Amino acid sequence: MLIDRDPARREEMMTRMGRRTVPQVFIGETHVGGYDDLSALDRKGGMVPLLAAA
């Protein structure tokens, strides 16, 4: 979804996530955060369990 091109969806994202930047990454129903958050999760070994659960 190109949320940065849809003002209504961008507003929804900011309301739900409290974040303004894209991308906002979800694995299944879990909000991971932005790219930096995703990268940190991967470095800590936390991405594989989330992917397995999804």
- State whether residue 30 is helix, strand or coil: strand
Mean pLDDT score across all residues of the chain: 89
Q: What is the pLDDT of residue 43?
A: 97
Q: What is the pLDDT of residue 24?
A: 87
* Residue-range domains of the chain with CATH: 3-53 (3.40.30.10)
Q: Enumerate residue ranges in the chain where pLDDT < 70.
A: 1
Q: What is the pLDDT of residue 2?
A: 75
Q: What is the pLDDT of residue 1?
A: 66
Q: What is the residue type of 27? A: I
- CA–CA separation, 4 vs 1, rounded Å? 9
